Structure 1
Amino acid sequence: MCPSKSILPLLQRLRAGGEWAGYALLALVLLVAMPLALDVFRLNLVGKYLSYAFVAVGLVMLWGYGGVLSLGQGVFFGLGGYAMAMFLKLEASDPRSTAIQSTPGIPDFMDWNQLSALPWWWEPFRHLPFAMAGVVAIPVLLAFVVSFAMFRRRVSGVYFAIITQAVALILSVLIIGQQGYTGGVNGITDLKTMLGWDIRTDSARLNLYFVNVALLFGAVALCRWIQRSKLGVLLLAMRDKEDRVRFSGYDVAMFKVFVFCLAAALSAIGGAMFTLQVGFMSPSFVGIVPSIEMVIFAAVGGRMSLVGAVWGTLLVNAGKTYFSESFPDLWLFLMAALFIGVVVAFPDGLAGLYRKYLARRRADDPPAPAERIPATTA
């Protein structure tokens, strides 16, 4: 029998063990260590970071597995956040709370812009089930329209990335320009309750943090299930040899549409959780700059690793907070140095660092040569 018969199963068990160890370590840090070590304010800040991690996880599927780089994920993050903010703002704008306005019962920014009635497309967002459905449905619908139009025409690579940037710019300009309907540059602010539950209290922030972590692990589990399925194999094949997959009879365009819509849905859920935890949503999270930052989260963590994407998001945002607090005049340069340093030193991100050093120590021999042993009998 060839040595591969015994070596390959061992390597697979070691790899699986390392993968589960990574999930367990992340769960231990997020569910135990951070709640015990941090006060509510800092824990809420970590919750904000984790809302960005939804976008990074989606980019692992879209960019890492699908080979499609999007520089406009802030669009879907923002749309999900705005859908949730609209419900919360309407709840905070009841006639009693807005009695001093010229038109009670509508959001304050509408009253300031001399609107006398709530726009018809705001009305359905009075209901939480509709708002929760809209958090996912609206971004996914936009993602489907954009991706279907582009991928059917075989637009890919840098051209598709530029188009997603253009969509991000258009949406941010539209939101800012329609101040009476969207809150303009200030966004939708002063969000207080959800079905009467005050989301500004310490207990609410603690609960929302754990809900955020649970949803994030659910997103990671869903993506891992897709990766291990036939669909995941086809995504990898499509990324590496798109023409071969097409010639095999598969509809490559629809695979790309699917993974783009999946990434959009995950980004939108992150945006909704951001709104709940931070208490506002503005166009500053929709445009080109935040979208590029979200790609950096995935790149630092490792664009092929779901857990790495979460760690990368935490590292970059923690660095951003620390540098901006400690070095307010230099923090942008320090953030750039952090990103460049990580990418240059670890081209595969933090996940690549783990595989290169830590995972190798778990096995007595380097895994790379063994993986090239053909799985055939002698």
Structure 2
Amino acid sequence: MTKSKPWLSLGGIGVFAVLLLGVAPLVLTDHWLNNLGKYCCWAIVAVGIGLAWGRGGMLVMGQGVFFALGAYAMAMHLTLETAGDRTPTFMVLYDPLAPLPAFWEPFRSPVVTLLAIVVLPVVLAGILGFALFKRRVKGAYFAILTQALAVALATLVSSTIRETGGDTGLSSFKYFFGFLLNDPANKAMVFLITAALLIVCLLVVWQLYRSRFGELLVATRDAEERVRFLGYDPANIKLVAFVVSALMASIGGAMFVPIVGIITPAEIGAAASILMIAGVALGGRASLFGPALGAMAVGWGQSSLGSTWPEGWTYILGLLFIVVILVLPKGLSSLPARFAAARRRPGEQRAAAPAAAPELAEVKA
């Protein structure tokens, strides 16, 4: 990698920021701006998955767990903000005299809600990651365990109808920290916040990729035992990436709620987690922009094709995932490099081998 490439990526983030924060609000209708905000939420999750899976080699198939922590924390606050001093409507329907559950009370505070969105995924991911990585659980076992947690959480939420709304979920939000959600100006504000958070996540990952930690993370992915022999603990390196990924998933879930207006177990289960993974694989899990752009593309496909052909969209997504893994294992982000390699003349490739020979001889000497 050349020294100029990191700064080229930083320039790409700047262009992306201008498009999202400057151009999109001016040229898109309210409907499409809201849809783009939803895609940005998935892109935030995908950036974290790219860090954990693309650079760390951890196939995190249970990001729906951390997405749910942020989403339900935000939804509970918005529900209480809408209800005011009254008990939320869905609880009254089941038991008019039932008091508000004790674990709902802290979410009346905006500060507690924002802290929960950050602290809960960090604590849970820290405990889970420490337990798994210290025991050297990895590969398919790690993927199955994380996905099982997503399935278990979705099942738990579905069964707690009086506390979380069950399969119906939480919806009908009127306010977002005091701002009316029906106001187009406030909807645009929520979009700008979400887009800005996506840019911040890209900047964080960009910095991690070019840091010493980023080098250790890739080394742990490719040669974990060598990293251990050099005196580093691969478990701690993986743990940091896993926690950062979980935090980004929680942030994406939190912003998903005011934009979409509803959160249900369908958005946090195994299918939703696989949808997040598919977007990352499509864009290119090891690149900086690939996960975000792939997640946006899959989100657009779900909104467009999923609404007109809901039964066929699942098959299309599965076929797309298989084709990408077989033909483009590094995702669409690898296409420019492939085209550049294909355009090289055979003579240049033959000349490259003799030129490299003296350098190899010096290394061996």
Shared topology, TM-score over 0.5? yes
Deviations 1:275-331 (A, max 9, x none): 121122111111111001111111111111121111101111112222224445533
Aligned-partner residue type, residue 109 of structure 1: F
Change (3 A) 1:350 1:18: farther
Length, aligned pairs only = 354
Question: Which residue identity lines up with residue 3 of structure 2 in the other structure?
Answer: Q
Q: TM-score, normalised by structure 1?
A: 0.86
Name the residue aligned to 1:12: 3
Deviations 1:84-104 (A, max 9, x none): 111111111123xxxxxxxxx
Distance verdict in 2 for CA 1:42–1:247, change over 3 Å: same
Mind listing any 5+ residue stretches in structure 2 that lack a counterpart? Answer: none
- The corresponding residue for 1:239 is 221
Deviates more, 1:180-189 or 1:250-259: 250-259
- Aligned counterpart, 1:110: 91
One-letter amino acid matched to 1:111: V
Structure 2 Cα separation of the partners of residues 35 and 358 of structure 1: 35
What pairs with 1:1-378 in structure 2 (closer than 5 Å)? 11-13=2-4, 15-16=5-6, 18-95=8-85, 105-114=86-95, 116-357=98-339
2:13 and 2:203 in contact (8 A); partners too:
no
Q: Is 2:60–2:143's contact at 8 Å kept on the other side of the alignment?
A: yes
Distance in 1 between the 2:98 and 2:17 partners? 49
SS at match of 2:303: helix
Distance 1:50 1:167 in 2: 25
Alpha-carbon contact 1:192-1:279 (below 8 Å) kept = no
Cα distance between partner residues in 2 of 1:94 and 1:352: 51
Using the TM superposition, give the Cα deviation of residue 159 of structure 1 relative to its aligned residue in structure 2, in angstroms.
0.4
Cα separation, partners in 2 of 1:245 and 1:12, compared to 1, 3 Å: same
Once the two structures are TM-superposed, the CA of residue 16 in structure 1 deviates from its matched residue by 4.0
CA contact (8 A) 2:46 2:291 kept: yes
TM-score w.r.t. the length of structure 2 is: 0.89
Percent identity, aligned pairs only, is 39
Q: Is the 8 A contact 1:76 1:268 kept in 2?
A: yes
Unpaired runs of 5+ residues, structure 1, are: 1-7, 96-104
In structure 2, the CA distance between the partners of 1:190 and 1:219, relative to structure 1 (3 Å rule), is same
Distance change (3 Å), C-alpha of 1:91 and 1:55: same
Find the residue that maps to 1:116 and give its secondary structure: coil
* Preserved CA contact (<8 Å) 2:78 2:175: yes
Please provide the CA RMSD for this pair.
Answer: 2.6
2-side partners of 1:248 and 1:294: how far apart? 34
Residues 64 and 150, structure 2, Cα contact 8 Å, conserved in 1: yes
Contact 2:68 2:268 (8 Å CA) reproduced: yes
Cα distance in structure 2, aligned partners of 1:263 and 1:183: 27
Report the Cα offset of residue 160 of structure 1. Answer: 0.8
For residues 160 and 328 of structure 1, what CA distance do their matches in structure 2 show?
31
Q: Return the letter of the residue paired with 1:268.
A: S
Give the superposition deviation at 1:78: 1.1
* CA distance in structure 2 between the aligned counterparts of 1:141 and 1:320, rounded to whole angstroms: 32
Whole-Å separation in 2 of the counterparts to 1:326 and 1:120:
42
Instruction: Return the letter of the residue paired with 1:269.
Output: I
Shift, 1:20, TM fit = 3.9
